[in-house]
Structure 1
Amino acid sequence: MASILWFRRDLRVRDNPLLSEFISNEVLPIFIFDTDILSLLDKDDKRVSFIFRSVLKLKNELIGIGLDLAIFYGKPSDIFSAISKKVTIDEILASTDNDAYAKQRDADIASQYKLRRFSDSFLLSSSMGLKKDASPYRVFTPFYNSILPFVEPLSQNIYKPKKTNPANFNYNGILDADLTTKEIAIENIGFDSIDISHIPFLDNPLDLLPGYKDNFAKYKDHRNDISSKPYTTGIGIHLRFGTLGIREVIRELYEYKHQGIDTSEYIRQLIWREFWNMLLSHFPKSEFENFYPFDIKWENNESKFAHWCNGTTGVPIIDASMRELNATGYLHNRLRMVVGSFLTKNLHINWQWGERYFSKKLLDYEPSSNIGSWQWASSTGADGVPYFRIFNPYLQTKKFDKEGLYIKKWVKEYEQIPSNKLYDEVYLFKYGDHFYKAPIVSHKDSSEKWLELVNR
């Protein structure tokens, strides 16, 4: 009998409960390239290249501790059926996920096998961080204040791999549901190999925080800077797929704090991530509908949506943001808020359209954070920005990219335009078509229309 260690978004050996909590004398570590998920993605999706590379790195790490990794391609239910014909499954261990697909997938597997799940992608389990009456918080600040005293202690729980024996199995190649083997190559799961060398600390994620250490003291004051030295770490994709664990990140941040480096604001941002996950866990319908049932008469103009997606709205900061997202899979959090507000409150397009687009493009796409942030920006979610607060893209440009360095980097059409004209809406409407294009909407007029559309 064997414990199946089902690696999903915990692609590391370090501090991984899967490698210490099993009960069998033998283990079979596996990773499944889930065709239900992959079928929804473009063949050049950068995240698949990142996952594929990380899975191979995990395989080598497991070999280093006397185990190995069996790699599969197919539907999880079909894969486990095939495994059960070769190995007696005692239990399956996996980390918890809270989006709708993951919950249904796990429910299907749990109906056939003993499935034990562990909170690894997030510090808190769904039963933690609740109010005294056991109901979930809906506002961030009281949630933050309630869990902050427990954050450091929770991070000290370190899982060390137990010595065990690998199950007798075929660890070579990529296996399908018939256990037919193909060469380990990304093309054999239907995807192109994409250059992802721009991802920070791709091969050595443990060096990420030490490499950023000197910036933490300035993080609070400079984290919104988009045109100067980056004050963001790029840690998101590593947390998303578990090449860095949240516990080891928190431990290191508190170690710096004890050394006199103020990491409080960065820790606060990580607790926002916990907050969004807690909400999705307790309010699963928010994945598909407004957290609060506001009646907004969305216009959902497909042409305007296409301009937003392609970065061709004629609004400099919006176009630069979307072009960076499309080219790299990255987008600064400040800019995510700006483009989110613009899509919903200026173009009057349902936040779900934007959320779906981000889900295809963001390297660090986290369902709970993305859904929560989009509802925040559109004033439809928990602890959302007031509906009458509308980000002015021109004021945001003046405040965060006054010299136009960011905009001119991503929108070459503005290279010869004086920087102060990039936040001059009157100028852009008058002359925009001469060198690129005029904005597709007026900020003032579209903001007033938004207030009319919101039925309060």
Structure 2
Amino acid sequence: MMKQKVTFFWFRRDLRLEDNLGLFQALHSEFPVIPLFIFDEDILENLPKNDARVSFIYDSLKKINEQLTAIDSSVLIKKGKTTAVWESLLTEFDIQKVFFNKDYEPFAIKRDLEITSILKQINIESYSFKDHVIFEEKEITKSDGLPYTVYTPYKNKWLEKYHLSGQAPEYDTKPLFSNFIKHQFTFPELAVIGFERSAIKVLPHNLTQITEYKETRDFPALDSTSYLSPHLRFGTVSIRKLVNWANRKNQTFLSELIWREFFIQILFSFPKVVNHNFKSAYDGIQWRNNEDDFKRWCSGTTGYPMVDAGMRQLNETGYMHNRVRMVVASFLCKHLLINWQWGEAYFAEKLLDFELASNVGNWQWAAGTGCDAAPYFRVFNPEIQQKKFDEKGIYIRKWIPEFDLGYNEPMVDHAFARDRAISTYKAGIVK
């Protein structure tokens, strides 16, 4: 390929052509745009070869490539250590500018600083854009400029700022498609990347039932949630379009989207939460961390049907209903006194929608050690949760087919576990 001057757009967590701000800006540059995706070996080496999320990323890229093929363009797919890939690209192409959308996780921030530093050394301009959230970093702060650590005032400030701006702007990239480079790069097979197709699939998102979201969202048997979370995680949908839609249609659903941004802001402002309690006062808790108990929780054999159904749903599908997530997380931390980090790591391995900020934030919420967390003395009773939200046992029977044959005895008595949890937490709190 002749070394013509080109602009690169680097896909990461924004796997779509439509309403993609970084791509929109790249397509406005004066050079033809090469869209790039890097399968990062630093991430891949820790995943099973049939990881469902890799299959989803691959399929999303393939859809993008098919759209580009129709206009005589394509996506450039690379695999390797990100730094090494970029160093190779810089010798292969005459790159003038690089565009990408921001990622707010600690690993991504470090990676992006490394790449932009390499580019700067050889006078290549790089540009990053806010695309993953409506409000980023320090856009929603208290009057003293410090980040919010409680959700409700954060939400109120978020809504105030959103409504003042009218709505989130949307960016129509389609009229600019002629600015993609006219070249057909080879699109690799999944096996070439070193992976095989997973039997677990990311389901299409569905917004048709969201009109009754407030009334139905806590009942797992109704299956009335949107299945949007993996699509938000990997950016196959635009958060701007989604928030504007939710603002018109359902404020409860909008609040859930704001929770996502709250946790992203917490992770950015307090990166220690990845490996440490947000509230250091809880660092003295003496976790039991019994490995056999943990295995029973992971396999869905605790004897508590709501907990077990949730874990089996997760293991078989990569999904778990949100209400059930709260129940299983509380059970691990409070009933079994196992450190939230064990559960967070298991969810990170299994969830199709795994997003570090929300995963850490919600696990610390359940454990009582995070910002705006449930108090330590709040211990969900799995049996009461089942009666309230799956009274007829429809959800439970779906995931526990042997339920009516005589189910296992609970591995620990609820009253005993509750008292043990409260006393252990109380003793462990650093005054």
TM-score higher than 0.5 = yes
The Cα shift of 1:376 comes to: 0.3
Amino acid across the alignment from 1:142 = P
Q: Matched residues in 2 for 1:296 and 1:5: separation? A: 47
Identify the residue that residue 203 of structure 2 maps to in structure 1: 200
User: Against the structure 1 CA distance between its residues 440 and 56, is the aligned structure 2 distance closer, same or farther, given a 3 Å change threshold?
Assistant: same
Which aligned pairs between 1:55-454 and structure 2 lie closer than 5 A?
55-65=61-71, 67-113=73-119, 114-151=125-162, 153=165, 155-161=167-173, 162=176, 165-167=179-181, 171-173=185-187, 184-196=188-200, 199-201=202-204, 208-209=206-207, 212=208, 215-227=209-221, 229-254=222-247, 257=248, 261=249, 263-293=250-280, 294=282, 295-416=284-405, 435-454=406-425
- Could you list the per-position Cα deviations for residues 202-224 of structure 1 after superposition, in whole angstroms to 9, with x for gaps in the alignment? xxx5xx33xx1xx3342112210
The Cα shift of 1:166 comes to: 4.1
SS at match of 2:38: strand
Q: Name the stretch that deviates more: 275-284 or 40-49.
A: 40-49
Q: Matched residues in 1 for 2:177 and 2:60: separation? A: 23
SS at match of 2:118: coil
Q: Matched residues in 2 for 1:317 and 1:115: separation? A: 49
How many residues are paired up? 411
The Cα shift of 1:67 comes to: 3.5
SS at match of 1:85: helix
Contact 2:210 2:225 in 1 (8 A): no
Residue ranges of structure 2 left out of the alignment (5+ in a row): 120-124
Q: Name the stretch that deviates more: 274-283 or 21-30.
A: 21-30
User: Against the structure 1 CA distance between its residues 168 and 77, is the aligned structure 2 distance closer, same or farther, given a 3 Å change threshold?
Assistant: farther
Contact 1:67 1:165 in 2 (8 A): no
Amino acid across the alignment from 2:139 = M
- Could you list the per-position Cα deviations for residues 7-46 of structure 1 after superposition, in whole angstroms to 9, with x for gaps in the alignment? 0111111001122213341222101111111111111211
Identify the residue that residue 45 of structure 1 maps to in structure 2: 51
Q: Percent identity?
A: 40
Contact 1:291 1:380 in 2 (8 A): yes
User: Against the structure 1 CA distance between its residues 67 and 101, is the aligned structure 2 distance closer, same or farther, given a 3 Å change threshold?
Assistant: same
2:4 equivalent to 1:11 = no
User: Against the structure 1 CA distance between its residues 170 and 76, is the aligned structure 2 distance closer, same or farther, given a 3 Å change threshold?
Assistant: farther
Which aligned pairs between 1:21-36 and structure 2 lie closer than 5 A?
21-22=25-26, 23-36=29-42
- Could you list the per-position Cα deviations for residues 405-433 of structure 1 after superposition, in whole angstroms to 9, with x for gaps in the alignment? 111111122134xxxxxxxxxxxxxxxxx
Structure 2 length-normalised TM:
0.91
Contact 1:345 1:446 in 2 (8 A): yes
Q: Matched residues in 2 for 1:90 and 1:387: separation? A: 54
Amino acid across the alignment from 2:241 = E
Q: Matched residues in 2 for 1:154 and 1:306: separation? A: 50
Q: Matched residues in 2 for 1:24 and 1:371: separation? A: 42
- Could you list the per-position Cα deviations for residues 179-235 of structure 1 after superposition, in whole angstroms to 9, with x for gaps in the alignment? xxxxx21112221212455x332xxx5xx33xx1xx3342112210112x2221101
The Cα shift of 1:276 comes to: 0.5
Contact 1:123 1:155 in 2 (8 A): no
SS at match of 1:117: strand
Amino acid across the alignment from 1:33 = F
SS at match of 1:20: helix
